[in-house]
Amino acid sequence: MAATAIPRNVLYAQSGGVTAVINASACGLIEAARAASPRIGKVFAARNGILGALAEDLIDTSAESDTDIARLRHTPGGAFGSCRYKLKSIDEQRAQYERLIEVFRAHDIGYFFYNGGGDSMDTANKVSQIAERLGYPLICVGVPKTVDNDLPLTDCCPGFGSVAKYVATSMREAGFDVASMARTSTKIFVLEVMGRHAGWITAACGLAAQSAAEPPHLLLFPEVAFDEVRFLARVKDCVERYDYCTIAVSEGLRDSAGRFLSDMGTRDAFGHAQLGGVGQIVAQLIKDRLGYKYHWALADYLQRAARHVASRTDVEQAYALGRAAVDLALAGRNAVMPVIERLSDSPYRWQVGVAVLKDVANIERKMPADFIAADGFGITDACRAYLAPLIEGEDFPPFRDGLPDYVRLQNPAVPRRLPDFAL
């Protein structure tokens, strides 16, 4: 009789800015891992991303009922906590990588899943490399997530479709408000959205307009250098034509010298410039030069937390990639990431494919030139055809007492087996 393989445990972690659907990926992954028993043992989660793994601060998800795990599919945020913490190269921080392997060994972790963006895929790839160097048997699989939609080799990123739906909805609704008041009050509305280097979310705002007369009238992308003179001329023309002007702007808008308009002079944990307030900068510029009364809004966390208006396409893709990650791991595929492959625009059809982590890590996919209008202030038909399916469908969460009914997990700690580790 053949010997039965001893099941090994899973460690799952969430990283970076969370989304309306990252927990849908967690749901798909945990459900798939539970269904894979006895090939997989327990499913642990690292509390607050890679920091929890380094601190041996692990969560035993087996304490959660199947019902509550299923409820993750419609719950925003990061159910197990996330972090912004970038591991440097293995040579620079070898002790931290070795610590991760010690934690994995102490809890018999055979599968590591890291759910995040480009920096997270880099971390997962490096963990796979150090495990191989140290002779520890480990399968590392990345699970894509980013509202910025800037990962390469995947048609779109889980989290983006729901943000796109939210900002397009917000722009359309705000546009009706501004149009109502423009004769005697506000003539300018500016919506600032996320997007440091890539203007995907700003482009999604453009879906709200069905004609040139409808909001948003102007889009400001990081990929297009801000030209104050051209911009103000377009704003003036828009107000003269329609009596008001609505604008969507990426937080990462730059001037002709490549400087962020809203660089605060500080850096985040990944070394990125801290940005904020470009919407107000643009609005105040209009007021100072043209004299128009304005309002501006910062979508901020609202755009990525808005599970109540999530895209069904986005939810389904996030869930599918969580399940696919487990399938890849059980097939022995190491240092890979499941991706979305588009088969057609209309009808929209897609399938799950696979990419190698080293080809994804630390690479940003910006807006293609043919997605941006020739004047730099709008989107093309090609862009609209790409974006439109990603916001399709509704997937409302259950409501109780008039509010969304989301789950908060127990998240019991796994007993520690190792000494404390100083970061």
**What one-character-per-residue DSSP string does 339-358 give?**
EEEEEETTTTEEEEEEEEGG
Residue 70 Cα to chain centre, angstroms: 21
| 148 belongs to the catalytic site | yes
CB 20 within 8 A of CB 305: yes
Neighbour count for residue 372 (Cβ, 10 Å): 23
Closest C-alpha to 143, from 25, 261, 19: 25
Of 119, 122, 148, 314, which is the active-site residue?
Answer: 148
Distance between CA atoms of 228 and 253, rounded to whole angstroms? 12
> In residues, how long is the chain?
423
Distance between CA atoms of 100 and 13, rounded to whole angstroms? 13
Neighbour count for residue 88 (Cβ, 10 Å): 11
Distance between CA atoms of 71 and 409, rounded to whole angstroms? 10
Closest C-alpha to 103, from 69, 54, 32: 54
Measured CA to CA in angstroms, residue 226 lies from 231, 305, 383 at distances of 8, 29, 21
Q: Catalytic site residues?
A: 148
